[in-house]
Amino acid sequence: MDLEKTPEIAKTIFGDRLPLAEKYAALLGRDGDTLGLIGPRELPILWSRHILNSAVVADLVEPGETVADVGSGAGFPGIPMAIKRPDIQLTLIEPMERRANWLANVVVPDLGLTNVEVLRARAEEAPVDRYDVVTARAVSALPKLVKMLEPLARKGGKILAMKGSKAAEEIAETKPLASKLGLETFEIVTVGENILQDPTTVVRIGLR
């Protein structure tokens, strides 16, 4: 299947860094299926379903903040966030060797992303109490996910979990863990709603 053509809205989201996003898309188109990074059926929706929906999550990050993307896989949402926002620092945490190697040896060097580092590790092996923001996309249900992400965040940090239509239900299932894990606030945030056909739903959790 052919790679999705760059949508016009991508220029609005990435500005003068659009060529980097297009190069990233091309790398995924070249290597994605061969290395098991992304399925061939995803190529026709690569921009609309993956790249743009990941990039807008960066709107929830403050300048200068450090972000850990747990279970980064093919680089979602971390790489699009890093392209859109060179003023934030991203650590892509990925346990699978071929994916971590592709990110570290291909994507980061080819795109010249000086605000990205790649850590091959499981979440429980990553540095604790270090990051301002911890994010994840399609990793697991929210109750299990917050147990993985919370230890990595610094005091007063936040979790940004990309979720779907059941976000409210997942929050309700997670609230019993609030006291134990120091989860202070829960909020469902929609980003990209004025520019994307399918905006991104994020559960934002503030930590004590």
User: Beta-carbon neighbour count of residue 183 at 10 Å?
Assistant: 19
- Is the separation of the CB atoms in 81 and 54 below 8 Å? yes
At 81 the three-state DSSP class reads helix
**200-207 and 183-191 strand pairing:** antiparallel
Rounded to whole angstroms, the Cα distance separating 79 from 173 reads 30
Can you tell me the distance from the alpha carbon of 26 to that of 49, in angstroms, rounded to the nearest whole number?
A: 15
- For residue 202, count other CB atoms closer than 10 A to its CB: 25
Residue 166 pLDDT class (50, 70, 90 cuts)? very high
What per-residue confidence (pLDDT) applies to 76? 97
Q: How high is the pLDDT of residue 133?
A: 98
- 170-183, pLDDT tens digit by residue? 999 999 999 999 99
Distance CA 141, CA 163 (A): 9
pLDDT of 1 over the 80 cut: no
- Which residue type does 189 have? V
Percentage of the chain beyond pLDDT 70 is 100
pLDDT digits (tens, 9 = 90+) for 29-47: 999 988 999 988 899 999 9
Provide the 3-class DSSP secondary structure of residue 5.
coil
Q: What is the largest CA-CA distance in the chain?
A: 48
Instruction: For residue 15, give every residue at least 6 positions away whose Cβ sits within 8 Å of its Cβ, in sequence order, or none.
Output: none
How far is Cα 157 from Cα 43, in angstroms, rounded to an integer? 34
The pLDDT, as a whole number, for residue 139 is 82
**Please, what is the average pLDDT of the chain?**
96
CA 140 to CA 159: how far, in whole Å?
Answer: 14
d(CA 193, CA 203): 15
- Tell me the pLDDT tens digit for each residue of 46-104: 999 999 999 999 999 999 999 999 999 999 999 999 999 999 999 999 999 999 999 99
| Domains of the chain (ranges, CATH numbers) | 9-207 (3.40.50.150)
Among 78, 20, 3, 2, smallest CA distance to 11 is for: 20
Walk across the sheet containing 89-93 and list its strands: 116-119, 89-93, 66-70, 131-137, 153-163, 200-207, 183-191
Sign, Cα dihedral of 81, 86, 89, 94: positive
